[in-house]
Structure 1
Amino acid sequence: MTSIDNNTGVERIRDHVAAQLTRARRRSQSLTDAVDEHDLVRQHSKLMSPLVWDYAHIGNQEELWLVRDVGGREPVRQDIDELYDAFKHARSTRPELPLLGPAEARRYVGEVRDKVFDVLETSPLEGRRLLAGGFAFGMIVQHEQQHDETMLATHQLRAGPPVLDAPAPPRGGPVGPAEVLVPGGPFTMGTSTEAWALDNERPAHQAHTAPFFIDTAPVTNGAYVAFVEDGGYADRRWWSEAGWAHVRKAPLVAPRFWEKQGDQWYRTAFGVTAPLDPDQPVVHVCFHEAEAYAKWAGRRLPTEVEWEKAARHDPASGRSRRYPWGDDEPTEAHANLGQRHLSPAPVGAYPAGASPLGVHQLIGDVWEWTSSDFRGYGGFEVFPYAEYSQVFFGPDYKVLRGGSFGTDESAVRSTFRNWDYPIRRQIFAGFRCARDAAPGELG
């Protein structure tokens, strides 16, 4: 998402919004067109909705916010609002609802989008906070791209022959030392200026860290194999009480989608089973697995504050950047985003995306678990509705940062905050480790 100052010309904002809406819809259509009607309506996992529910839900949110609220237009299908309210029905029960079929869902979503473009042409894009800088449209762009990543996760859970295709990610390369020292002191966390930032990213505020070390790159498959083969999943020493209860109940023996054949580990991704790439970041691990590995390695997970400082703080200027590499929008040289590839890239694949301190792949590849609970910042204000962030605040959810290979550039930035239950593994999540700096290591 391009940073848009509220004083930028309205026509420029309109053009940008139109392009982002079109790009998001192209991706939604590719994810739903890739499978037949049977796969669209079936539930591939109790953790996920049928793909056709996600698609119609995308349209319903557009209708609620852009057609009815921003546009003040008559409802298109008010009768289906409850069916596509994510808080009314658990994912596990959604297949039992009288959902729109694939053809009807496509017609509905298309009709809503036509009306949205009419609203976009006439909206003043100012006068209300919801309109300033095109925020309402940006919120819907991000919402669609977030559901596209959810649908991509459903594809990963789908059984059957492969239906998605993408080129392999670029090769990895050197990343320098295994860890980087991040100096202690204050930095600016969060944002009050990013036009499309969501409420939980706001407001900008001063945060402080002690000096700490953070991994130069995410933990790789090769490193994680060592934990698995050292009996990490059977050793109570490495697990929290909640983690040990979960690893035994589930039961867990390795990251999801891993399988050992003889002496070789394999991973299945989007219907293709291949030998594990030791240089790619480990993916599909839950918070408890990340925490256990870190303890086994004599380290810990970074806090959310530490993660953002490593991603944004420029020690030379003292300012916080929009992205690790600076303020410019992500390109293919900076990060593995937007489903350009169907896996994380090997470490060192994006040297242009490194932070000033030399930390690599903080954006894209895998969402990174932090040790922090999801809570609002001081001065947090609900906007525009409590169900986006506030209802999830508390100790039940852990914060993830940085985005994955399935996250679109419009739906991630160095201030962006994701969250999930600590047992979740279907998401494209990995991690990196951190540790406290000892006095003798500070020079």
Structure 2
Amino acid sequence: MTTIHELGAEQLRTRIAAELERTRARTAGLTAAVDDADLMRQHSPIMSPLVWDLAHVGNQEELWLVRDVGGREPVRRDIDDLYDAFKQPRRDRPALPLLPPAEARAYLATVRDKVHDLLDRVPFTDRPLVADGFAFGMIVQHEQQHDETMLATHQLRVGPPVLHAPDPPQPRVRVADEVLVPAGEFTMGTSTDPWALDNERPAHPVRLPAYVIDAAPVTNGRYREFIADGGYDDPRWWSEAGWAHRTEAGLTAPMHWRRDGDGWAYQRFGRWSPVRDDEPVVHVCWYEAQAYAAWAGKRLPTEAEWEKAARWDPATGRSRRYPWGDGEPTAEHANLGQRHLWPAPVGAYPAGASPLDVHQLIGDVWEWTSSPFRGYPGFAAFPYREYSEVFFGDDHRVLRGGSFGTDRAACRGTFRNWDYPIRRQIFSGFRCARDARPDESGR
């Protein structure tokens, strides 16, 4: 696929318009799947009512595209505070005078009409906010991120199933247990991807010793072994903070699991089905991932280790945009975009493997890393501190790779997600790593 850098102005307008339309169709589908009462209801205190997310994506589009890029008069200045995520904690949002569903949809339509009018006229100049259509790409990614959040809310709602999708593909290849990543330098991050966000920048060299990483995410079957071996009852495997959280929260298995005779069942968007052993485990928090890794005699990979395994090509020494190359993801490469409603079994996407034959790095489950969320050397907040910089520090851990609910526009080898280590309503899993032994690394 032609890169954004290579598109002429009219082609870029067409590409942006298509991405805006594709994204809005997903938003519409997620919110049309339930009635107005369900849209206004809060399904979990850590999640917003769906109708808040709906109007919020329109408000951000108005703020950045209509007002900032376009310099137009506000559509609804009176609702700015209502949909400011920093001013309104999620637990308090149901009590706000939110736009009802019909009014929220009308507001989004008005804003989008103005954006289309703006898109027909805006020059893609060297002004950083609009160069290569960045502001439009930022809004597409923002809405897709909220679409994934709304998908997670659907997973938490109580009631009959309302979302439907075909099963993921079956395994096509057998995947190794581990892969050696040789010592050496690679380029982490990007300085050239036009729609990359500020925390992915700038590109910088990172030198790593040799290490071994799991060739696939940890599966339900492997995780069940941890449970069966008393992993949740043995503080040896847990950090002090992790054990305190496990005890306080009463964790005994991944979220949405329950005992089913001698086995386990997993609730997926209102449907119960047996846990399938060859699928990546999902809905585990960072502390659970860390405990499993310790039980397995391993550790979580650092963020740099994850990215080198995903992007580094030993034949050329360069870092690719995706594990398979620079081309956009297709249905052959990865489980993305809500095409399916749960992770695909290991071995389902051989075309998406990295040059080192590491599988399913993109899609299926967000993968916890050991790294706290911080800026890269030379980081500069753009276009606002609240996207990334205010979250830097030890409170959040980085996740990589995207999930089955992540759209291709909001996922690439450099994309960084982050969350609190206790969170597991997100579509989170993990893979393990370990230091290479001398006989493995050639030393």
Would you say same fold, with TM above 0.5? yes
| Post-superposition offset of 1:167 | 0.2
Question: Residues 171-190 of structure 1: matches in 2 within 5 Å?
Answer: 171-190=170-189
Q: Deviations over 1:76-132 (max 9, x none)?
A: 000000000000010000000000000000000110011010011110011310000
Q: Distance in 2 between matches of 1:174 and 1:371?
A: 29
Q: Deviations over 1:191-210 (max 9, x none)?
A: 00000000000000001110
Residue 111 of structure 2 corresponds to which residue in structure 1?
A: 112
Partners of 1:2 and 1:329 within 8 A in 2: no
Partners of 1:3 and 1:195 within 8 A in 2: no
Q: Deviations over 1:298-341 (max 9, x none)?
A: 00000000000000000111000000001111000000000000
Residue 41 of structure 2 corresponds to which residue in structure 1?
A: 42
Is residue 3 of structure 2 the alignment partner of residue 3 of structure 1? yes
1:386 aligned partner, one-letter code? R
| Post-superposition offset of 1:2 | 6.6
Residue 273 of structure 1 corresponds to which residue in structure 2?
A: 272
Is residue 439 of structure 2 the alignment partner of residue 440 of structure 1? yes
1:185 aligned partner, one-letter code? G
Q: Distance in 2 between matches of 1:125 and 1:57?
A: 26
Q: Distance in 2 between matches of 1:328 and 1:106?
A: 34
Note the residue ranges of structure 1 that are not aligned, 5 or more in a row.
Answer: none
Name the SS for the 2:120 alignment partner: helix
Partners of 1:175 and 1:360 within 8 A in 2: no
Name the SS for the 1:397 alignment partner: strand
| Post-superposition offset of 1:172 | 1.4
Residue 402 of structure 2 corresponds to which residue in structure 1?
A: 403
Q: Distance in 1 between matches of 2:284 and 2:83?
A: 29
Name the SS for the 2:190 alignment partner: coil
Question: Residues 13-52 of structure 1: matches in 2 within 5 Å?
Answer: 13-52=12-51
Change (3 A) 1:81 1:87: same
Note the residue ranges of structure 2 that are not aligned, 5 or more in a row.
Answer: none
Name the SS for the 1:122 alignment partner: coil
| Post-superposition offset of 1:431 | 0.2
Residue 222 of structure 2 corresponds to which residue in structure 1?
A: 223
Residue 55 of structure 1 corresponds to which residue in structure 2?
A: 54
Change (3 A) 1:392 1:2: farther
Question: Residues 261-410 of structure 1: matches in 2 within 5 Å?
Answer: 261-410=260-409
| Post-superposition offset of 1:175 | 3.5
Q: Distance in 2 between matches of 1:177 and 1:19?
A: 39
Q: Distance in 1 between matches of 2:326 and 2:139?
A: 23
Name the SS for the 1:119 alignment partner: helix
1:55 aligned partner, one-letter code? L
Q: Distance in 2 between matches of 1:58 and 1:362?
A: 28
Is residue 203 of structure 2 the alignment partner of residue 200 of structure 1? no
TM-score, normalisation: structure 1: 0.99
Question: Residues 68-147 of structure 1: matches in 2 within 5 Å?
Answer: 68-147=67-146
Pairwise CA RMSD:
0.9
1:31 aligned partner, one-letter code? L
Q: Distance in 1 between matches of 2:312 and 2:54?
A: 38
Partners of 2:175 and 2:216 within 8 A in 1: no
Q: Distance in 1 between matches of 2:45 and 2:31?
A: 19
1:230 aligned partner, one-letter code? D
| Post-superposition offset of 1:442 | 2.1
| Post-superposition offset of 1:60 | 0.1
Name the SS for the 2:298 alignment partner: coil
Name the SS for the 2:225 alignment partner: helix
Q: Deviations over 1:157-178 (max 9, x none)?
A: 0000000000000001333420
Partners of 1:175 and 1:216 within 8 A in 2: no
Q: Distance in 2 between matches of 1:442 and 1:341?
A: 39
Partners of 1:175 and 1:217 within 8 A in 2: no
Q: Distance in 2 between matches of 1:421 and 1:222?
A: 26
Change (3 A) 1:385 1:121: same
Q: Deviations over 1:229-264 (max 9, x none)?
A: 111000000000010000000010000000002202
Q: Distance in 2 between matches of 1:178 and 1:333?
A: 22
Residue 167 of structure 2 corresponds to which residue in structure 1?
A: 168
Name the SS for the 2:371 alignment partner: strand
Q: Distance in 2 between matches of 1:175 and 1:403?
A: 22
1:3 aligned partner, one-letter code? T
1:426 aligned partner, one-letter code? Q
Q: Distance in 2 between matches of 1:175 and 1:72?
A: 55
Q: Deviations over 1:60-87 (max 9, x none)?
A: 0000000000011100000000000000
Q: Distance in 2 between matches of 1:176 and 1:408?
A: 25
| Post-superposition offset of 1:40 | 0.2
Q: Distance in 2 between matches of 1:173 and 1:212?
A: 27
Question: Residues 232-271 of structure 1: matches in 2 within 5 Å?
Answer: 232-271=231-270
Q: Distance in 2 between matches of 1:342 and 1:24?
A: 17
Partners of 2:175 and 2:347 within 8 A in 1: no
2:118 aligned partner, one-letter code? V
Name the SS for the 1:274 alignment partner: strand
2:425 aligned partner, one-letter code? Q
Aligned length: 442
TM-score, normalisation: structure 2: 0.99
Residue 65 of structure 2 corresponds to which residue in structure 1?
A: 66
